[in-house]
Amino acid sequence: MDAIDLMGLEGSITKLIAPWAGILITVITIFLLKDVIYSLIKGLKFKLRPGFGSGDVCYIDKERATIIKIGLLETIFEIDNGRGKVWRYIPNEELDSTVLERIIVPKDIEE
C-alpha cells in the first residue's frame, strides 16, 4: 500500500482533478479547431452571398478569372494568365482581403 491509499485521498484527488482535466481538454480542442471553424464560417458566408456563384466571371486582384467551385474551406478560381489556364486555390478567410469584382455585363456587349 502506498501513502495515498493509507490516507484515503485517492478518491478525493480524482474527484478534484477530473473536472479540471475535462475543461483543459475542451479548451485545447477549441484552440485547435478555431481556425477550421473560422474558415468554415467564411466559406458559408461567401457561398450564401447572392453576388457570386460557380461559373461566374470575375476579376481577382486585377486578373480575369472564373469561379470553379466555392468550397467550405477554399474557393477555386480559373485564371488565364498568358502561360495557360491555371487554378488558384484561395482559402476563404483570405477572401475578405482579396479584391474580387464580378463582371455583370461583358465589355464586348456594352454599347
Task: Supply the CATH number for residue 92's domain.
Answer: 2.30.30.60
In this prediction, residue 44 carries a pLDDT of 84
Using the structure block, give the residue that is written with the C-alpha cell 478534484. 16
> What is the value of pTM for the model shown?
0.64
- What pLDDT is attached to residue 87? 93
Domain count across the chain: 1
Q: What is the pLDDT of residue 109?
A: 61
Which residues, listed in sequence order, are joined to residue 88 by a DSSP beta bridge?
77
Structural domain of residue 10, as residue ranges? Answer: 1-111
pLDDT reported for residue 2: 53
Residue 5, pLDDT score: 54
